[in-house]
Amino acid sequence: MTRFSRREFLESGGTLAGAGAALGLGAAWPRAIDAQTPRETFGAPDMVVHNARVFTVDDAQPMTEAFAIKNGRFVAVGSNDDVRNLIASGTDVIDADGMTVMPGFTDAHCHPGGVRELTGVNVNFRTIPEVLNALRTKAATTPPDYWVRGHMYDDTKFREGRPVTRRDLDEAVPNHPAAVDHRGGHTSVYNSKAFEMAGVAVDTPDPFGGHFFREDGELTGKVAELARREVDRIGRTAPITRETRQAGVAFISKEMTKAGITTVHQTHGATTALVALQDAYAAGELHFRMYFFPSGGSDCYAGLKAAGVRTGFGDDWLQIGGVKYGADGAASERTMRMSTPYVGRPDDYGILTMDQDEIHEATEDAHRNGYQIGIHANGDVAIDMVLNAYERVQREWPKPDSRHRIEHCSLVNDSLLRRIKTVGAIPTPFYTYVHYHGNKWVEYGEEKMRWMFAHRSFLDYDIPVAPASDYMPGPYEPLMALQSMVTRKDFDGRVWGANQRITLDEAIRICTMGGAYASFEEQKKGNIVAGKLADFVMLARDPHNVDPDTIKEIPIARTVVGGKTMYEG
Ligand SMILES: [Zn+2]
């Protein structure tokens, strides 16, 4: 049994950073952290889990049977006999009945606002009439001039085999401005009323970083990237109150813990989002731990920076993460910027949304002001530009262990991989995309798919990989992620880039320790080790013992964050 004793604690220098080193968890923690570790021998545990198959993600003791929790941390991890000896009156004893337990999962890149989920029109349907019906129903109770908007739209999932068009939307919603927003977040389809109010016609030129799609001398309705601003500025939207935002956080954090997620990195947000998190936390409604990235260029980031707040400010539940920017288009919406064109569109190399100077400027600002930076870069061209900036700041103002991140980092090659390793950057490749978005990969082709979402390559180059759904664009369920990374199979069983398959244990490590590393917290959480935060998940079946094509179907039995049960199936 490993047990975090008073003696070890004192010998370690009385801080958790030292404790981490004493426990063989690597280099000393670089930043100040809380000191909630018990100063006395821990006494009666609050919770004991026994009779489990515990996959600890700790090389010193990879598998065990039981553990004890006190004050939100693991205090003992070992055999049934050892841990049962610690049970006292008042200990909550959980007999796992042979179930599998793992560290809680992190989603290190997603957008879980919760407000759209609570108030918008969810159009995650498989037929176009269902989408139109949902919008029609909403329009019936929406005042004139107010937007009717659907979210979770996905152009490639319809039985009709075609996307929603302007004409479809006109038929369902003729009198309001209306749109469906792609779950990828980079394109929308608008109706004629919206274009008319915005003064956008077929001959309106494309703005920088955006595109109005046209066909046969007409607008199709589809609009990409920054061109959407030209349309979105018109129309009215019901005000979203502070209470609604708080309710959104409560809702989505509860939903995500149902899937086994215990930590979330919200990779961009405004002040209102940060306030909502704080409100939900204060009200006891925050179910997961949050590492929050203010958006680059936002008042939120400017204000935090001016106040001297840096990456890591906060506590174990809510902290300021890095600052977030976006340099190119999307993988799932086929707008990312590549050095070679899309299949069937020889002139289409995708879209950049920042130029090299802007990337340099943003990186220098973050790096010199104590911020980790996360720049969205999907295509190899965008990744190269981001690496140029990361290499430059480390040359000019060296700061080891900056852990700057390349958000998504979808299409790589050997030279990019070498540079990522050398500069110490962290990629956050999509973890459910191969499975969920498989039908989109035909537009990249088999050769590119050998280098996309390159989990195997990152591990081979010894690059620390973070787990990322990009929800809403991708499903966040970590068990679907494990299945996707292990099988590289889509919904129809087609395999995409088999060379990038990884083992189940590698995938589990990415979803746990990989997430902790990406927020500088690998000595606080990410595995089941005495002294660490007691975040874990209990699964009804062991994913090691099922057909890999069915991992996503395993029910989550329980999710515990900081020793508190947040979900029980
Ligand atoms: Zn994102």
Pairing of strands 100-103, 92-95: unpaired
Q: How many CB atoms lie within 10 A of CB 90?
A: 8
Question: Angle between the 380-396 and 414-423 helix axes, to the nearest 10 degrees?
Answer: 30
Q: Residue 58 to residues 64, 359, 529: CA-CA distances in angstroms? A: 10, 38, 7
Pairing of strands 66-70, 100-103: unpaired
Q: What is the pLDDT of residue 1?
A: 62
DSSP state of 468: B
Residue 177's contacts (CB-CB under 8 Å, 6 or more residues apart) are 145, 146, 147, 148, 190, 191, 193, 194, 197, 231, 234, 235
How far apart are the C-alpha atoms of 249 and 119, rounded to whole Å?
A: 13
Long-range contacts of 240-244 (CB under 8 A, 24+ apart): 240/115, 240/119, 240/272, 242/272, 242/275, 242/276, 242/279, 244/115, 244/118, 244/119
From first CA to last CA, the distance across the chain in angstroms is 29
What tens-digit pLDDT sequence spans the chain (569 residues)?
655 544 444 343 333 333 333 333 333 333 333 333 443 467 899 999 999 999 999 999 999 999 999 999 999 999 999 999 999 999 999 999 999 999 999 999 999 988 888 778 999 999 999 999 999 999 999 999 999 999 999 988 899 999 999 999 999 999 999 999 998 788 999 999 999 999 999 999 999 899 999 999 999 999 999 999 999 999 998 889 999 999 999 999 999 999 999 999 999 999 999 999 999 999 999 999 999 999 999 999 999 999 999 999 999 999 999 999 999 999 988 899 999 999 999 999 999 999 999 999 999 999 999 999 999 999 999 999 999 999 999 999 999 999 999 999 999 999 999 999 999 999 999 999 999 988 789 899 989 999 999 999 999 999 999 999 999 889 999 999 999 999 999 988 999 999 999 999 999 999 999 999 999 999 999 999 999 999 999 999 999 999 999 999 999 999 999 999 999 99
pTM of the model: 0.84
- The first and second tokens of residue 6, run together, are 């008073």
Give start and end residues of each alpha helix (H) in 344-413: 356-368, 380-396
Residue 326 Cα to ligand 1 midpoint, Å, equals 9
Cis status, amide bond into 472, omega within 30 of 0: yes
Residue 111 Cα to ligand 1 midpoint, Å, equals 6
Residue 542 Cα to ligand 1 midpoint, Å, equals 30
DSSP state of 238: P
How far apart are the C-alpha atoms of 35 and 108, rounded to whole Å?
A: 24
How far apart are the C-alpha atoms of 390 and 395, rounded to whole Å?
A: 9
Residue 321 Cα to ligand 1 midpoint, Å, equals 14
DSSP state of 550: G
Residue 266 Cα to ligand 1 midpoint, Å, equals 9
Residue 199 Cα to ligand 1 midpoint, Å, equals 30
Long-range contacts of 137-141 (CB under 8 A, 24+ apart): 139/172, 139/173, 139/175, 139/176, 139/178
Does residue 357 come out as left (phi exceeding 0), alpha (psi in the -120 to 50 range) or beta?
A: alpha
Does residue 74 come out as left (phi exceeding 0), alpha (psi in the -120 to 50 range) or beta?
A: beta
**What dihedral angle (degrees, nearest 10) is formed by the CA atoms of 378, 380, 385, 389?**
80
Residue 34 Cα to ligand 1 midpoint, Å, equals 29
Residue 374 Cα to ligand 1 midpoint, Å, equals 10
**Within 13 Å and on the Cβ side, how many CA atoms surround 481?**
32
Residue 430 Cα to ligand 1 midpoint, Å, equals 10
Residue type, 336: M
Q: Residue 547 to residues 207, 266, 436, 483, 486: CA-CA distances in angstroms? A: 49, 32, 18, 10, 11
Residue 296 Cα to ligand 1 midpoint, Å, equals 13
Residue 184's contacts (CB-CB under 8 Å, 6 or more residues apart) are 154, 330, 332, 333, 473
What is the Rg, in whole angstroms, of the alpha carbon atoms belonging to the chain? 24
Q: What SS3 class is residue 114? A: coil
- The first and second tokens of residue 30, run together, are 């670089």
Residue 8 Cα to ligand 1 midpoint, Å, equals 41
Residue 242 Cα to ligand 1 midpoint, Å, equals 23
Q: How many CB atoms lie within 10 A of CB 358?
A: 17
Residue 377 Cα to ligand 1 midpoint, Å, equals 10
> Phi then psi for 215, rounded to 5 degrees?
-155, 135
Residue 353 Cα to ligand 1 midpoint, Å, equals 14
Residue 315 Cα to ligand 1 midpoint, Å, equals 24
Residue 291 Cα to ligand 1 midpoint, Å, equals 14
How far apart are the C-alpha atoms of 212 and 93, rounded to whole Å?
A: 60
Residue 267 Cα to ligand 1 midpoint, Å, equals 6
Q: What is the pLDDT of residue 334?
A: 87
- The first and second tokens of residue 270, run together, are 């405004």
Residue 536 Cα to ligand 1 midpoint, Å, equals 25
Residue 170 Cα to ligand 1 midpoint, Å, equals 30
> Phi then psi for 343, rounded to 5 degrees?
-60, 130
Residue 193 Cα to ligand 1 midpoint, Å, equals 29
Q: What is the pLDDT of residue 235?
A: 94
Residue 109 Cα to ligand 1 midpoint, Å, equals 6
Residue 94 Cα to ligand 1 midpoint, Å, equals 37
How far apart are the C-alpha atoms of 333 and 225, rounded to whole Å?
A: 10
